[in-house]
Amino acid sequence: MSRPIISSLREPSPAASAGLAVGDAIISVDGVVPRDIIDYHQLVDGKDPEFEIDRAGIALTVVVEKREGEPTGIEISDALFDRVRTCDNHCEFCFIYQLPKGLRRTLYVKDDDYRLSFLYGNFTTLTRFTEADLERVVTERLSPLYVSIHTTDPLLRAEILRNPRGAYSLRWLEALLAAGIEVHGQVVLLPGVNDGEELVKTLADVALRFPELASVGVVPLGVSRYTKEPRMRATTKEEAAQAIEIVNGFQRGFVERLGRPLVYASDEFYLIACEEFPDLQSYGGLPQLENGVGVYRQFEAEFLGQREPEPGSRSGFFASIDGAPALGYRAIRFSARGNRAEGIQGGVKIITSAYGKLALERLSAVSGVTMDFVEVENRFFGGNIAVAGLMAGEDVAGVIADEDRTRLLLPDVCLSEGRFIDGWELEALPRQVEVVPSDGRSLAQALSGRRFPAVGKAS
């Protein structure tokens, strides 16, 4: 079990006044050893917590004088202090298995930890969930949680997860919902496996067994060129249209029965099927936004000035252990550093993926704003990977090298702490790019002349 390390300290703050310092390892708080950031925050929330710390091998006791509920001013290095509960499923569609070798170590960690579900919005299958976990979740009201359903057929779920416990682990979902825990579900749709009639059966079961679910997102699988699974393939246009039709049919039933849509199809299905996105209002409160559901309509509303961007950074592939311990336990996309893009003349081009271009072309038509693009083919992953969040630095560098005298806008969604998923740093790019927050208002401002921090080799 590792000890939480103080990574930063706000000045002034109760912790700084008490003499705590960056680099101190926290042994215990009020005599209790915290297992994770959840425990830690509960322990330090009270009045005058007593810290036992290790400072360069010397044990010290420090009392932080503060009011109950007052922040200590401490930032901690990690979200989990004991071992991450890794996933013992072997899903054939798992994207971790489809990563190339040589990436940073944390990207290969397969977690199935309910705590990361609570902290990050990661989806868990509940195959490693226990009675003790249920007791903690219910007692401490660790809500919301995010659960991968995929199918409600026990044998098919065990087959998809390649884990016999998958056949009955949804019993924990029933227990969580019965205890009043807010849970969001997802179904990763595998062509020819759990789509079509199997999807109909799954959503019918959701209506009967899990109507208390806050939402269910139906999303397509991603298939990279590194997959070794013969039956994993991209969703066709016809299959995407069928998935949308099924979801829409159940939405109408859920609205009639529950007063809310409950189930939503991801934006990717609409792009694959070349169909129009639903209205923004039909997504309710956008409960599956970080699962790619309703992203376009929110972005459009922000771009048109009809909606304010949500505060904080978004999750996605990077929102895992690699992201701790940023605000809200989300990875910092990019910190403003480097040069301003002064002196660059000429037009403006948006660096984006194939799906990103399709969506922005629709936005251009709706808004009347002309947009030019530098489309990045995802050669790093290959397959059907075409989302902006998985653009690799190597691929970006290859397409911008000849874009002379042009302002290049890069969405920060493809970055985690200033790095692309393949480890490339922004400074290594052959051209300066302006890193723009991935919301519609920021893009509108950039196209209107606002300059954002620029990084890369000067032209």
**DSSP class of residue 119?**
H
Task: For the chain, give every domain's residue range.
Answer: 6-76, 95-293, 339-455
- Residue 312 pLDDT grade (very low, low, confident, very high; cuts 50, 70, 90): low
Query: Is the model more confident about 457 or about 261?
Result: 261
What pLDDT was estimated at residue 388?
A: 92
Say whether pLDDT at 342 is over 60: no
For range 186-198, the mean pLDDT: 96
Four-residue CA torsion sign, 234, 238, 244, 250: negative
Per residue in 207-244, pLDDT (tens digit) is: 999 999 999 999 999 999 999 999 899 999 999 999 99
pLDDT at 86: 82
User: What is the topology classification, in CATH, of domain 6-76?
Assistant: Pdz3 Domain (2.30.42)
Determine contact, residues 147/177, Cβ cutoff 8 Å. no
Q: Which residue has the higher pLDDT, 402 or 29?
A: 29
Say whether pLDDT at 343 is over 70. no
Q: Using pLDDT thresholds of 50, 70 and 90, give the confidence band for residue 105.
A: confident
Helix (H) or strand (E) holding 357: helix 354-367
Question: Is pLDDT of 330 > 70?
Answer: no
Query: Is the pLDDT score of 453 beyond 60?
Result: yes
Phi first, then psi: what are they for 200, rounded to 5°? -60, -45
Q: How confident is the model at residue 417 (pLDDT cuts 50, 70, 90)?
A: confident
**Alpha-carbon gap, residue 167 to 30, rounded angstroms:** 42
**CA atoms within 13 A of residue 348's CA, in its CB half-sphere:** 20
pLDDT at 310: 75
- pLDDT number for residue 1: 67
Q: What predicted TM-score, i.e. pTM, was given to this entire model?
A: 0.87
- Tokens at residue 259, please? 């007063």
pLDDT of residue 405: 74
DSSP structure class, residue 149: -
Instruction: Name the residue among 325, 315, 318 with its Cα closest to residue 78.
Output: 325
> Out of 251-265, 284-298, 324-338, which region has the weakest mean confidence (pLDDT)?
324-338
Q: Closest by alpha carbon to 411, among 435, 393, 375?
A: 435
The 10 Å Cβ neighbour count of residue 58 is 7
For 342, residues 6+ apart whose C-beta sits below 8 A from its C-beta are: 451
Q: Mean per-residue pLDDT for 426-447? A: 94
Q: Is the pLDDT of residue 323 over 80?
A: no
65: pLDDT strictly greater than 90? yes
Average pLDDT over the chain reads: 89
Q: pLDDT by residue (tens digit) across 367-415? A: 999 999 999 999 999 999 999 999 999 999 999 998 877 899 999 999 9
Tens digit of pLDDT for each residue in 288-310? Answer: 988 899 999 999 999 999 999 87
- CATH architecture of the domain covering 95-293: Alpha-Beta Horseshoe (3.80)
> At residue 263, does pLDDT exceed 60?
yes
Which whole number is the average pLDDT over 75-88? 84
pLDDT of residue 314: 44
Write out the DSSP string of 240-269. Answer: HHHHHHHHHHHHHHHHHHHSS--EEE-HHH
Q: What is the pLDDT of residue 108?
A: 78
